[in-house]
Structure 1
Amino acid sequence: MLKLYGFDVSNYFNMIKLALAYKGLDYQVEVVYPNQEPEFLTKSPMGKVPALETEDGMIVETNIIMEYLDAKYPDKPLYPADPFAQARVKELVKFIELYLELPARRCHQEAFFGSKVSDETRKDVKRALFRGMTGLNRLASFSPYVAGEEFSAADIMFLYSVDLASSVAKKLFEIDLLEGSNGAKALMAKLNELPEVQKIAADRKTANKAFVEYVTSFQK
Structure 2
Amino acid sequence: MITLYGVAISNYYNKVKLALLEKQIAFTEEVLPPAQSEAVLKRSPLGKIPFIKIDGGYLSESQAILEYLEEAFPEHPLYPSDLFERAKCREFIQHIELNVEQIARRIYAEAIFGGKVSQEIKDEVLIKVENGLKGLARLMTLSPYALGDHFSAADVVAWPHFQLVGFATQQIYGRDLVAEHIPGVAAYMQLIENRPHAQLVGKDRAAALEAFFKNR
Question: How does the TM-score come out when normalised to structure 1?
Answer: 0.92
Identity %: 38
Deviates more, 1:176-185 or 1:72-81: 176-185
Match of 1:74 in 2: 74
1:180/1:59 Cα in 2 relative to 1: closer, same or farther (>3 Å)? Answer: closer
- Maintained 8 Å contact 2:134/2:181: no
Structure 1 segments unaligned to the other structure (5+ residues): none
Match of 2:205 in 1: 204
- Maintained 8 Å contact 1:96/1:162: no
- Maintained 8 Å contact 1:7/1:33: yes
What is the deviation of 1:55?
1.3
What is the deviation of 1:20?
0.7
Q: What code does the residue aligned with 1:111 have?
A: A
Match of 1:184 in 2: 185
Match of 1:93 in 2: 93
| Partner Cα distance (1:140, 1:208) in 2 | 29
What is the deviation of 1:213?
6.6
Deviation sequence 1:79-129 (CA, Å, 0-9, x none): 112111111000000100011111110011111232220000110111112
Structure 2 segments unaligned to the other structure (5+ residues): none
- Maintained 8 Å contact 1:104/1:164: no
What is the deviation of 1:42?
1.2
| Partner Cα distance (1:122, 1:181) in 2 | 21
The count of residues paired between Structure 1 and Structure 2 equals 215
- Maintained 8 Å contact 2:20/2:26: yes
Question: How does the TM-score come out when normalised to structure 2?
Answer: 0.94
Deviation sequence 1:142-186 (CA, Å, 0-9, x none): 111111111111111111112211112212112232236333222
| Partner Cα distance (1:36, 1:180) in 2 | 37
Deviates more, 1:46-55 or 1:194-203: 194-203
1:132/1:8 Cα in 2 relative to 1: closer, same or farther (>3 Å)? Answer: same
Match of 1:122 in 2: 122
State the SS of the aligned residue for 2:112.
helix
- Maintained 8 Å contact 1:104/1:129: yes
- Taking the TM superposition and a 5 Å limit, the aligned residue runs for 1:3-22 are 3-22=3-22
State the SS of the aligned residue for 1:28.
strand
Match of 1:163 in 2: 163
- Maintained 8 Å contact 1:5/1:51: yes
State the SS of the aligned residue for 2:29.
strand
- Maintained 8 Å contact 1:20/1:26: yes
| Partner Cα distance (2:180, 2:214) in 1 | 34
Q: What code does the residue aligned with 1:8 have?
A: A
- Maintained 8 Å contact 2:100/2:128: yes
State the SS of the aligned residue for 1:53.
strand
Moved over 6 A (4+): none
What is the deviation of 1:26?
1.2
Deviation sequence 1:17-38 (CA, Å, 0-9, x none): 1001101111111110001111
State the SS of the aligned residue for 1:156.
helix
| Partner Cα distance (2:128, 2:168) in 1 | 12
1:59 equivalent to 2:42? Answer no
